[in-house]
Amino acid sequence: MIHMAKTFGTERHKALIAVLIAKRLAAGLTQVELAKRLGEYQSFVARLESGQRRVDVIEFFELAEILGFDPFEVLRAISQIK
């Protein structure tokens, strides 16, 4: 039986957060600006970026579109982390 690993605090989770922050900064957006584009509050983005909240796959694709990155490239890179 395979058990699903907890995601919070794992190296993959930390890497995902680091990428999302870097991509937001590279896009020249503040947390407030990104939140507005997502239709959310700034606290939503803050919780994502602090690792207090998971990013679901649909949110991830929306973030990729808004921030202008290839989601598959990021997923491939993160999948290599053990």
pLDDT of residue 9: 79
- Give me the tens of pLDDT residue by residue for the chain, a chain 82 residues long: 655 556 777 899 999 999 999 999 999 999 999 999 999 999 999 999 999 999 999 999 999 999 999 999 999 999 999 8
Residue the block writes with tokens 């870097």: 22
Q: Which fold would CATH assign to domain 27-79?
A: 434 Repressor (Amino-terminal Domain) (1.10.260)
pLDDT of residue 3: 56
pLDDT of residue 74: 97
Phi, psi of 67 (to 5 degrees): -90, -10
pLDDT of residue 77: 95
